[in-house]
């Protein structure tokens, strides 16, 4: 009997030891232990543990992510602008008039400063000249080709190799816990959809973005959607809650952004009536990525930073909270 008791005692001791041994691997290995990581895992536990007052049914576990500056960089310019500039160069032979017409002339001469000096008007003109005039299928193929080959001027990486590794882990962690992850970006919806599933695991129907108008046409027996040079919807700032409501029809319970352009999306998400989580990625890492906030032209984070602090939203200090920035790319 004594032997059996001893074995029982040892078995009891072993239970916690085994529990430790069987512990699931860290779902966020690229995140340093700290307040940001802790608030994320605490929120997921709070909303997914059955019986807790903060439990949220899977259907309502909607998480929305900004893209530029939140899932991948936006410096020295939005990656979609790099795409537009490359398109101008590719289309230039068909547009001899661009040699003398701004902002195209500046693009062809590699004079980014003059392009940007043209402000929003010049950018819209570039987008319309490079994003419209073809069918949705043709445009998707052009984006696929570009994203598979173009490289970032600073890092020499493909743009899809510059997505943030810690955010990839966060997307996967949320999905593993029954969340649906949406992208809600000021970028073009049709610019993102061809590659977001492969790169982020986000399927086309979970991408919300800015858009130009399209028109249905029968070309012989072939139905097409033609992309028109007219703005349809700008999914930025106060447009983000509008885009979320239109596409999802539910209020998210978690929102992730990096700039004042995401503030309304975070305000819309983090209200008192529900368990909710809001997070800002703060670009503090001039060495490994870029450092900018209150005075930046692109991705300014000023009002949002104050509101995040006042409301206790999570602020990721990129330099301190992230072990790595980009995924390891096979040489």
Q: Return the residue of 247, 289, 301, 314 that touches a copy of itself, per CB under 8 A.
A: 247
Tell me the closest approach of the beta carbon of residue 291 to a copy of itself, in angstroms: 30
Tell me the closest approach of the beta carbon of residue 203 to a copy of itself, in angstroms: 6
Q: Return the residue of 30, 48, 181, 211 that touches a copy of itself, per CB under 8 A.
A: 211
138: contact with a copy of itself by CB under 8 A: no
58: contact with a copy of itself by CB under 8 A: no
207: contact with a copy of itself by CB under 8 A: yes
**Contact stretch for a copy of itself (CB under 8 A) within 18-26, 40-48, 233-241, 316-324:** 233-241
**Contact stretch for a copy of itself (CB under 8 A) within 36-44, 110-118, 155-163, 265-273:** 265-273
**Contact stretch for a copy of itself (CB under 8 A) within 103-111, 113-121, 126-134, 219-227:** 219-227
Tell me the closest approach of the beta carbon of residue 23 to a copy of itself, in angstroms: 32
216: contact with a copy of itself by CB under 8 A: yes
Tell me the closest approach of the beta carbon of residue 214 to a copy of itself, in angstroms: 5
Tell me the closest approach of the beta carbon of residue 292 to a copy of itself, in angstroms: 26
Sheet holding 207-219, edge to edge: 222-233, 207-219, 180-188, 62-65, 254-257, 277-282, 314-317
**Secondary structure of the chain in HEC code, one letter for each residue:** CHHHHHHHHHHHHHHHHHHHHCCCCCCCCCECCCHHHHHHHHHHHHHHCCCCCCCCCHHHCEEEECCECCCECCCCCCHHHHHHHHHHHHHHHHCHHHHCCCCHHHHHCCCHHHHHHCHHHHHHHHHHHHHCCCEHHHHHHHHHHHHHHCECCCCCCEHHHCCCHHHHHHHHHHHHCCCEEEEEEEEEHHHHHHHHHHHHCCCHHHEEEEEEEEEEEEECCEEEEEEEEEEEECCCCCHHHHHHHHHCCCCCCEEEECCHHHHHHHHHHCCCCCCCEEEEEECECCCCCCECCCCCCCCCCCHHHHHHHHHCCEEEEHHHHECCCCCCCCC
310: contact with a copy of itself by CB under 8 A: no
Nearer to a copy of itself, 127 or 266 (CB): 266
282: contact with a copy of itself by CB under 8 A: no
Site for a copy of itself in 184-203 (CB under 8 A): 189, 193, 203
Q: List contacts with a copy of itself (CB under 8 A).
A: 59, 136, 189, 193, 203-205, 207, 211, 214-216, 218, 222-223, 225, 238-239, 241-242, 245-250, 264, 267-268, 271
């Amino acid at each position: 009997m004594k032997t059996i008791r001893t074995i029982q005692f040892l078995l009891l001791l072993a239970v916690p030891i085994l529990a430790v041994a069987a512990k699931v691997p860290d779902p966020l290995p690229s995140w340093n232990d700290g307040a940001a990581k802790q608030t994320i895992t605490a929120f997921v536990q709070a909303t997914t543990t059955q019986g807790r007052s903060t439990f949220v049914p899977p259907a309502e576990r909607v998480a929305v992510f900004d893209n530029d500056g939140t899932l991948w960089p936006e410096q020295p310019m939005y990656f979609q602008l790099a795409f537009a500039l490359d398109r101008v160069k590719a289309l230039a032979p068909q547009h001899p008039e661009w040699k003398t017409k701004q902002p195209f002339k500046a693009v062809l001469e590699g004079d980014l400063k003059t392009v940007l000096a043209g402000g929003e008007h010049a950018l819209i003109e570039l987008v319309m000249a490079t994003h419209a005039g073809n069918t949705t299928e043709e445009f998707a193929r052009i984006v696929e080709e570009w994203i598979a080959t173009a490289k970032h001027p600073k890092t020499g990486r493909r743009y899809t190799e510059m997505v943030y590794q810690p955010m990839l882990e966060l997307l996967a962690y949320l999905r593993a816990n029954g969340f649906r992850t949406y992208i809600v970006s000021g970028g073009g919806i049709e610019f993102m959809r061809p590659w977001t599933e492969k790169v982020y695991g986000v399927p086309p129907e979970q991408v919300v973005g800015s858009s130009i108008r399209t028109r249905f046409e029968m070309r012989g027996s072939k139905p097409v959607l033609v992309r028109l040079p007219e703005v349809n919807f700008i999914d930025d700032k106060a447009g983000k809650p509008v885009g979320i409501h239109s596409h999802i029809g539910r209020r998210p319970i978690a929102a992730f952004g990096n700039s004042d352009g995401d503030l309304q999306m975070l305000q819309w998400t983090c209200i008192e009536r529900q368990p909710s989580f809001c997070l800002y990625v703060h670009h503090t890492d001039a060495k490994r990525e870029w450092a900018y906030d209150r005075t930046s032209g692109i991705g300014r984070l000023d009002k949002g930073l104050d509101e995040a602090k006042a409301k206790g939203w999570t602020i990721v200090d990129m330099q301190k909270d992230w072990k790595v920035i980009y995924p390891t790319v096979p040489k």
